[in-house]
Amino acid sequence: MLQTVSADIHIHTCLSPCADLDMTPIKIVRQSITMGLSIIAITDHNSAENVAAVTAAARGTGLYVIPGIEITTAEEVHLLGLFESCQTALQMQDIVFEHLMPGENDEKLFGMQVIANEYDEVEGFNKRLLIGSTSLDVNRTIDCIHRHNGIAIFSHIDREVNSVIGQLGFIPAGMPIDGIEISRYTDIDRAHARFSEYERYPFITSSDSHELPDIGSASTKFLLAGLNFDEVRMALTGTDGRKIKENE
């Protein structure tokens, strides 16, 4: 039986230097449940090191956690990669690390990059410059995500900074993207009017939360038969009755 569920598939943890240090696995899970979410995705900047901890923290709660990563392309476009397993997300992370611009994180300037475990304990710190870009262009990034059986979604296309529209001016024809994300600052109806030329892509909304109170501040309603990766993919493609529900 198909059921409507709420999903926030763009959430940062304390691993992202721009995120609050309270964005720990247990606290994220608790806040997500409080906000009535059934699905979340963990999408830190250029790293997937905390996805396993959040997945473990959610075990037994009924909350489905999608392992993900928000990749900054060579054009400085933010692109979400969502994956079926933590292992696959970490494989994508390896590729990102290989192409990440050199440099070490300046904690005083950008913030700490905390690697946490499922008990909200600090396991270490990532010293890479995660806030930076990679040498992977948009097309190659999408291809890498798809080769890992992932879902590729352009982040917050309504923003001027780090969006595909802001950086490139448009979404090139034939771009094999699986969806486009609208930020919580733009109403979905206005987004459809503003980006009507991109109606060929599914529109989703997410919080892009960097602080606990922002989790679930924007979410997407999916009509699914279960909480798993294939069901989310089917909703994005409108397969077998699965779909994105807007204003219903």
133-145, pLDDT tens digit by residue? 999 999 999 999 9
Q: Whole-angstrom Cα distance, residue 201 to residue 195?
A: 10
Q: Give the single-character DSSP code of 85.
A: S
Using CA atoms, how far residue 59 sits from 30, 41, 52, 160, 208, in Å, is 12, 14, 11, 37, 23
- C-alpha 177: how far from chain center: 14
Q: How far apart are CA 24 and CA 120, in angstroms?
A: 6
Domains and CATH numbers, the chain: 3-245 (3.20.20.140)
pLDDT of residue 246: 84
Q: How far is CA 79 from the centre of its chain?
A: 8
Q: Among 35-44, 164-173, 209-218, which stretch is predicted with the lowest mean pLDDT? A: 164-173
> What proportions of the chain, in percent to the nearest 5, are helix, strand and coil?
30, 25, 45
**What tokens does 148 get?**
């890992």
The mean pLDDT value for 71-99 works out to: 99
What is the average pLDDT value for the chain, to the nearest integer? Answer: 97
Phi, psi torsion values for 223, nearest 5 degrees: -100, 110
HSE-CB for 84 with a 13 A CA cutoff: 10
Strand ranges in the chain using DSSP code E only, listed in sequence order: 3-11, 39-42, 64-72, 78-82, 114-116, 122-125, 151-154, 179-182, 203-205, 220-224, 243-245
Query: What percent of the chain shows pLDDT beyond 90?
Result: 98
Q: Tokens 């919080």 map to which residue?
A: 207
Which DSSP category does 59 fall into? T
Model-level pTM?
Answer: 0.97
